[in-house]
Amino acid sequence: MKTELFPIIKFYGNVDSTNEIARAWLSSKKRDQNAVIVAEKQNFGKGRGIRQWYSPKGGLWFTMVFHDQILPPSVTLFTGVIIHTILKERFSHIDFFLKWPNDILIVNKKVCGILTFTSKNATCVGVGINCNLKNFPNNLSQLATSLYIETGKKVKLKGLLSDLLTKFSSSINEFTTLGFMPFREYFESFHLLTGKKVAIQLADNTTIGEVKEVSNTGMLVLNVENGIKEFFTADKIDILS
């Protein structure tokens, strides 16, 4: 499973968060290589903002650590493209949609989330994929789904992780050299928000407009009442129509 890009793969059982282990990993002077931190279960999986990601046993929860490398924010979108590509290949009968900036959905339910952050002059990309979960708590049952729920078949987690890391490793040079631009067309072809009227919340401000496109740098471009507005990120996005 190890690749040239990720020479270290560390598996854990029950942890608070793979992202927190990644932070601790980077704090150690002995850690000077890229790594992937994988957990069987997270007690406090991280979502955007202060939200948590429900991550019991049965999902694929991992964080990719890029030592001494600050990647552009669009690495979140790039990661979404890589994961979407593998899921589409494995489950060709299911329609997977990308949702800017960090989700993959089946119909309108999340099956994957991505969270990117920088720490100690490094980039960490956390990924959560709902693989073999059979159900969700009541407050999430209308918002999330899993590959098992959609297919009735269990996924071999290590096999899926291996496919993802191999694909990521074979594509990262193109991304670091040319940015998001080579992957933009793919993203747009499966983007759930294009052409939709949305409300974007960022801090205490809410902007309403129609999604025009995702730019070559990964920004969401909105047609608003007085022109064009671009966003690098958002705290919350609601589809209005």
- CATH code for the domain in which residue 59 is found: 3.30.930.10
In a domain, 100, yes or no: yes
Cβ atoms of 240 and 197 closer than 8 Å: yes
171 and 96 housed in the same domain: yes
Q: How many domains does the chain have?
A: 2
135 and 101 housed in the same domain: yes
Per the structure, the complete domain to which residue 225 belongs is given by 197-239
Q: Is 109 helix (H, G, I), strand (E, B) or coil?
A: strand
117 and 164 housed in the same domain: yes
62 and 137 housed in the same domain: yes
DSSP string, 36-79: EEEEEEESSEE-STT-EE---BTBEEEEEEETT----TTHHHHH
181 and 202 housed in the same domain: no
Q: The pTM is what?
A: 0.95
In a domain, 1, yes or no: no
- Tens-binned pLDDT, residue by residue, of the chain (241 aa): 788 899 999 999 999 999 999 998 888 766 788 999 999 999 977 666 556 779 999 999 999 999 989 999 999 999 999 999 999 999 999 999 999 999 999 999 999 999 999 987 899 999 999 999 999 999 999 999 999 999 999 999 999 999 999 999 999 999 999 999 999 999 999 999 999 999 999 888 999 999 999 999 999 999 998 899 999 999 889 999 8
112 and 202 housed in the same domain: no
